[in-house]
Structure 1
Amino acid sequence: MRIGILGAGNMADALGTQWVRAGHEVMVGARRPERAAALAERIGAAAGGLDDAAAFGDVLLLAVHYAGALDTVRAAGALEGKVLIDCTNPTGPPDWTLHTGDGPSAAGRIAAAAPGAHVVKAFNLCHVDVWRLTPPVFGGRPLGVPLCGDDAAAVGAVERLVRDLGCAPLNGGGLARAGQLEATAAFMIGLWFGGADPATMVPPLEVAHGTGRPG
């Protein structure tokens, strides 16, 4: 698969490294050519500008902070027909509320800025160091990665990239549910920074729908 990465930061490094190892062709694009070139050399990828990476990839990873996401998408040029993975989180300290407020989700805004692209929300629930693990398996169970997208072929392409990390793709529904995934990330990050473990609030699957016993 040909993957263009828009951005040259930590998420670009972590996921790009894994996908190069899995045998994919990767190009890193950034506003600052020297940053793209340095990362590309480190992970064994090609380098270019944002528009170069966008033209190169059938699948694109938007790997920048949410504050710069819309400008990055616009600078990448025409993205019609491309699969565009949005791993951004529109939240931050000190209170970890959503910067998108009650408006459209980050993924929805990115889709509006990239007409014709097939946006898939993914990879936003975990710290970047989790994506560096080979593989991310905890307690013998591969990490689940929720995906939200409207185009079945686009979601299928991202599912393949999730499996290439040793993770398990989870069907999160259409892009309209991406806001729920973003809110989940904001809530979990707030708990983590407060010293709590969000994993303790999720019961095992066998009892998640009820035990079947009379109330």
Structure 2
Amino acid sequence: MRIGILGAGTMADALGTQWLAAGHDIMVSGRNPVASAALAEKMTTAAQRPGAPAPGVARAGTWAEAAEYGEVVMVAVLEAGLHDVLRAAGPAMRGKPVIDVTNAVGPGAYDVTRSLAELIADSTGGQVVKAFNLCHVDVWRMTPPVFDGRPLAVPLCGDDERALATARTLVTDLGCTPVHGGGLDRAKLLEATAAFMIGLWITGADAQAVLPPLAGSGTHPTT
């Protein structure tokens, strides 16, 4: 599929390169056209893997061009510049699957009353799915992200089944397992989880050890 990426930073690089290697075509966009073009070239080289099928095609464009190009659009920009980027992207995201990987960063930056994913949905008219926001960029560079024999699980929060199906495809292309996290109204919980867990990791705590495995988490309904 064609993936337009709003952003030309590390998340765009890591996820975009993996999807290129899986055969998808990518357009990255950023504030600096020269840097965006250099990133597209770097991703093309990195996606070429011995013995694997030929990767997709990477190119660079403006915010508006990337939003128009993608059958699905990923938003991977800093929260501080989000409004300006969405305004520059224009109306092309309306009705499209939109993957939001953003997190608010810095002390007090997280707003418990409204998720960035809902803001993006309201601003663009896109069918937004919150995903890929819980892990450091280095995790998304792993091929695949597997820990103690278990593929990484990626929660997805969204309302539109077509957008969710697209997100599930992109998750499995990374070698990860998609997990239904509820509707877009629950994206604020996913963003809050990121804010809390990142804080633990920064202090040196093993955030994964906070929760027990499923088998030790109590008795749960089967339906």
TM-score (ref. length: structure 1): 0.92
Unaligned runs of 5+ in 2: 45-57
Q: Which runs of 4+ in 1 moved over 4 A?
A: none
Distance (whole Å) between structure 1 residues aligned to residue 87 and residue 13 of structure 2:
22
Task: Kindly indicate whether residue 83 of structure 2 is the aligned counterpart of residue 73 of structure 1.
Answer: no
Range moving further from structure 2, 133-142 or 37-46: 37-46
Structure 1 position 84, deviation (Å): 1.0
Among 71, 76, 96, the residue aligned to 1:58 = 71
Among 98, 102, 118, the residue aligned to 1:108 = 118
Task: Kindly indicate whether residue 200 of structure 2 is the aligned counterpart of residue 191 of structure 1.
Answer: yes
1:177 is matched with: 186
Identity %: 58
2:100 is matched with: 86
Task: Kindly indicate whether residue 20 of structure 2 is the aligned counterpart of residue 20 of structure 1.
Answer: yes
Distance (whole Å) between structure 2 residues aligned to residue 70 and residue 139 of structure 1:
40
Range moving further from structure 2, 174-183 or 193-202: 193-202
Aligned 8 A contact 1:66 1:89 in 2: yes
Q: Any idea what SS the aligned residue of 1:162 has?
A: helix
Letter in 2 for 1:17: T
Deviations, residues 109-147 of structure 1 (Å, cap 9, x unaligned): 1111112x1011000000000000000000000000000
2:146 is matched with: 137
Distance (whole Å) between structure 1 residues aligned to residue 144 and residue 98 of structure 2:
24
Structure 1 position 210, deviation (Å): 4.0
Distance (whole Å) between structure 2 residues aligned to residue 90 and residue 209 of structure 1:
33
Structure 1 position 66, deviation (Å): 1.2
Q: Any idea what SS the aligned residue of 1:77 has?
A: helix
Distance (whole Å) between structure 2 residues aligned to residue 113 and residue 74 of structure 1:
8
- CA RMSD in angstroms comes to 1.3
Letter in 1 for 2:199: G
Range moving further from structure 2, 131-140 or 57-66: 57-66
Distance (whole Å) between structure 2 residues aligned to residue 105 and residue 11 of structure 1:
19
Q: Any idea what SS the aligned residue of 2:205 has?
A: coil
Task: Kindly indicate whether residue 51 of structure 2 is the aligned counterpart of residue 46 of structure 1.
Answer: no
Distance (whole Å) between structure 2 residues aligned to residue 177 and residue 169 of structure 1:
16
Distance (whole Å) between structure 2 residues aligned to residue 145 and residue 130 of structure 1:
12
TM-score (ref. length: structure 2): 0.89
